[in-house]
A = this chain, B = another copy of it.
């Protein structure tokens, strides 16, 4: 399999075609962005860390029966995945209050929820990724009621796998964002990435942030935090 033409460049990844129309080649970039692209930086080594961590977590989720787009890690910063049509929704699962949920509800950051909260945001940079309810999603024809139920169930399954997995590694899974898409056969697959860019991960002992909030809030070296996560997950150390 060969990487061919650049199909799309996002904020964190480049997507290339391959000779197989059902497969695309993802290259993770050394770029960090936050606040809808307002804050930006080049961060050497970030692409490799996210590619390693995402490959590792997608493999775990596949093993546990969750259908994902992941096919194969191709290099330190690249992987092949099934090409999907992305459903333009960011599906967020939260176990602990943080970020916008603290602002929305008035709960303190760190407040433990008695059960997970699932949220759907419209993936639209121009509108600032607004929160949607099911009526908004159906009115905009982004997904049908049945698809919403499926995405919600899959998102909660992902949480049920990742929460104890991270806990074993002494990491608290605070919240995470998923994207779903449909492949050529119409199957709903977990797509995009699962990495410290898309999860909030806090050290179990100290609550030290080991995720993109380190960049958003200027808390230190982002790659140190991501390296800590990769090491705890048993991934290869940087050489």
Contact = CB atoms under 8 A, between A and B. Distances in A.
Interface of A: 103-107, 113-120, 122, 124, 126-127, 130-136, 139-140
A124 B117 CA distance: 20
A106 B127 contact: yes
Nearest to A131: B131
B130 A133 contact: no
A203 to B, nearest CB: 25
Given A104-B122, A104-B136, A117-B139, 13 more contacts: A104-B132, A105-B122, A105-B127, A105-B130, A105-B140, A106-B126, A107-B140, A116-B135, A117-B135, A117-B136, A118-B133, A119-B136, A131-B131
B127 A139 contact: no
Contacts of A105: 122, 127, 130, 136, 139-140
A119 B104 contact: no
Closest 8 CB pairs of A and B: A117-B135, A104-B130, A133-B133, A106-B127, A117-B139, A131-B131, A118-B135, A113-B139
A114 B135 CA distance: 11
